Amino acid sequence: MTIKVFGHKAPDTDTTGSAIIWAWYLSEIKGTPADAKLLGEPNTEAAFMLKRWSLDKPEIIELAGEGAPCVVVDTNNPAELPADINACDLLQIIDHHKLTGGIETKSPIDITMRPLACTATIMYDLMGDDAAKMPEAIKGAMLSCILSDTMEFRSPTTTDVDKILAEKLAADLGIDMGAYASEMFEAKSDVSEFSDAELIRMDSKINEIDGLKFRVSVLETTAPQIPLDRKASIMESMAAVCAEDEIDHVLLFVIDILKEEATMLIPNDVVKGVAEKSFGALVTGDAVVLPGILSRKKQIIPNLKV
């Protein structure tokens, strides 16, 4: 039976690319049939990556399938996975996030979790000498994953391992890494066709803090004014998203990649309190600028207080 390889809901570049990379490795190197899958539409940057490297968009699925062999990449959080994740035959997890807990498996499995900026970086090491066999498209996907998750090495999650590998991949591909990263970020910044609710969910994770459920959303962009011009309508849409997703509040951060700062939207007093207690912010309106805040994984979620 073909293995399904997939990452989290609201697929970004690392989740999309890593699923493709590992499915290639299992199929072409290990001789085990595997297909990459997605749990939703890829964001604009991930879609750019697919087009740039002539990669087919993986099939979108809602459920893993009872007893189906699966590999999970770029997450270990059941809230970000299919509702039937504990019913599938989960074989492996490859991730760079903190351990969440809640996944149950039918038997012992192979788990690799490392404090690197990108899941694809971990995969390169796991491949060993076989990494040299990657075709250009797979190398391009891997480079894209690293540049996206590190924000071209601006993110505090960046490690020397990520940077050295990205430089090697760019050299192998014969491309200007800075110019390519700019193309990626420009694609990510084009959010004009998305509804407010889609923007809120586009790059987000659900976290529980002191008994309250928050959807923590980030919009990483080189053109922050585009989503900020829609600030009022986005905040109005947060109530509907909370009701539909059965959560309490939305924390949305518009991250300016170039200025290396985040603007946090403040729709209500609870979120205002979170901003003040978590980041020492002085909130006087419906938004607050947080200098130096870039990473949801390292700077936002670990610091959240209600």
Rg (CA), the chain: 19
Q: Which residues, listed in sequence order, are joined to residue 122 by a DSSP beta bridge?
A: none
C-alpha span between 300 and 81 (Å, rounded): 21
Residue with the bigger pLDDT between 297 and 127: it is 127
C-alpha span between 129 and 141 (Å, rounded): 18
Q: How many residues does the chain have?
A: 306
Q: Is 247 helix (H, G, I), strand (E, B) or coil?
A: coil
Q: How far is C-alpha 127 from the geometric centre of its chain's CA atoms?
A: 22
Residue with the bigger pLDDT between 180 and 10: it is 180
C-alpha span between 121 and 230 (Å, rounded): 35
Task: Flag whether pLDDT at 192 surpasses 90.
Answer: no
SS (H, E, C) 10-67: CCCHHHHHHHHHHHHHHHHHCCCCEEEEECCCCCHHHHHHHHHCCCCCCEECCCCCCC
C-alpha span between 188 and 176 (Å, rounded): 19
- 132-160 pLDDT, tens digit each: 999 999 999 999 999 999 999 999 999 99
Task: Flag whether pLDDT at 114 surpasses 90.
Answer: yes
- Give mean pLDDT, residues 42-59: 97
* 219 CB-side CA count, 13 A: 31
Q: Which residues, listed in sequence order, are joined to residue 6 by a DSSP beta bridge?
A: 72
Which pLDDT score, from 0 to 100, does residue 132 have? 98
Which residues are within 8 A (CB) of 115 and not within 5 positions of it... i.e. 6 or more apart?
Answer: 96, 159
Residue 104: closest CA among 93, 94, 114, 119:
93
| Average pLDDT of the chain, as a whole number | 97
How far apart, in Å, are the Cα atoms of 305 and each of 98, 235, 262?
18, 21, 17
How far apart, in Å, are the Cα atoms of 84 and each of 1, 67, 198?
18, 10, 24
Which pLDDT score, from 0 to 100, does residue 193 have? 86
End-to-end Cα, the chain, rounded Å: 46
Instruction: Give percent of the chain with pLDDT exceeding 70.
Output: 100
- 15-31 pLDDT, tens digit each: 999 999 999 999 999 99
Other beta carbons within 10 Å of 101: 8
Locus of tokens 């670990």 = 302
Q: Is 155 helix (H, G, I), strand (E, B) or coil?
A: coil
C-alpha span between 118 and 97 (Å, rounded): 9
- Give mean pLDDT, residues 81-96: 98
Q: Tell me the pLDDT band of 252, cut-offs 50, 70 and 90.
A: very high
C-alpha span between 140 and 148 (Å, rounded): 12
- 173-188 pLDDT, tens digit each: 999 999 999 999 999 9
- The enclosing H or E element of 238 equals helix 231-245
Task: Flag whether pLDDT at 248 surpasses 90.
Answer: yes
